[in-house]
A and B are shown apart, each in its own frame.
Chain A
Amino acid sequence: DAKTTQPPSMDCAEGRAANLPCNHSTISGNEYVYWYRQIHSQGPQYIIHGLKNNETNEMASLIITEDRKSSTLILPHATLRDTAVYYCIVRVAFEAGANNLFFGTGTRLTVIP
């Protein structure tokens, strides 16, 4: 799986958009970008994933650059409950043996009142 680089921490004012960047310059053509978040002492929560097109769901938007070397997770209106560690992961689609999710250190997002 490709290595990802994320800033260790970010702050965001409540009600504003939170833009979390991720670099994955060695991503392969068949690797997807996944985003999870983890609130202290809870299991990781799946947010969104994509291959090359921008994606949006009820939680967030995912913007992937045209060369796929980086992406940005956007939380459109951050709330205090969005305070968590956010992980960007790149991996191939499910296949035998490729089952591990490599969680790096992620970005600790703090939403400020």
Chain B
Amino acid sequence: DGGITQSPKYLFRKEGQNVTLSCEQNLNHDAMYWYRQDPGQGLRLIYYSQIVNDFQKGDIAEGYSVSREKKESFPLTVTSAQKNPTAFYLCASSRTAGNQPQHFGDGTRLSIL
């Protein structure tokens, strides 16, 4: 079935460690997004990419990095510079034409050891 796969579902990070969250989609969507959700709050945009080899910062990009080497993949690295990384991370994708909605993966929950 077509969809967005995020892995792992749960991830633990030690202090000072970088971790990478995986996001893969087989929907043939050009645009991909990373959001962060904190308890009881809405989504905040971290990075987005409209096309391969190009990406833009969202509202809270500090302490995060991304790459878009393939259309179907948009991994997110949470670096040690991100001082409050504990959150639920959501990846989404969409077509870039008109009013197409974003479709989401099931998320990765990141916690600090």
Contact = CB atoms under 8 A, between A and B. Distances in A.
B48 A99 contact: yes
A94 B43 contact: no
B99 A94 contact: yes
B53 interface: no
Contacts of A102: 42-43
Given A32-B99, A44-B90, A46-B103, A94 B31 contact: yes
Contact of A100 (B31, B59, B90, B99): B59
Interface in B29-74: 31, 33, 35, 40, 42-43, 45, 48, 50, 56, 58-59
A100 to B, nearest CB: 4
The 8 A-B pairs with the shortest beta carbon distances in the complex, nearest first, are A43-B104, A103-B42, A93-B99, A100-B45, A46-B101, A103-B43, A43-B106, A99-B48
Contact of B42 (A32, A45, A94, A104): A104
Nearest to A49: B101
A42 B106 contact: yes
A94 B97 CA distance: 6
Interface residues of A, number: 22
Contacts of A97: 56
B102 interface: yes
Contacts of B31: 94, 99
A101 to B, nearest CB: 6
Interface string A41-70: 111111001010000000000000000000
Most buried by A among B42, B58, B101, B104: B101
Interface in B63-105: 88, 90, 92, 94-105
Contacts of B97: 94
Given A99-B31, A103-B43, A104-B42, A43 B107 contact: yes
B107 A49 contact: no
A111 B89 CA distance: 27
29 contacts: A41-B88, A41-B107, A42-B106, A43-B6, A43-B90, A43-B92, A43-B105, A43-B106, A44-B43, A44-B90, A44-B104, A46-B103, A87-B42, A93-B99, A94-B31, A94-B95, A94-B98, A94-B100, A96-B50, A97-B56, A99-B33, A99-B45, A99-B50, A99-B58, A100-B59, A101-B35, A101-B43, A101-B92, A103-B43
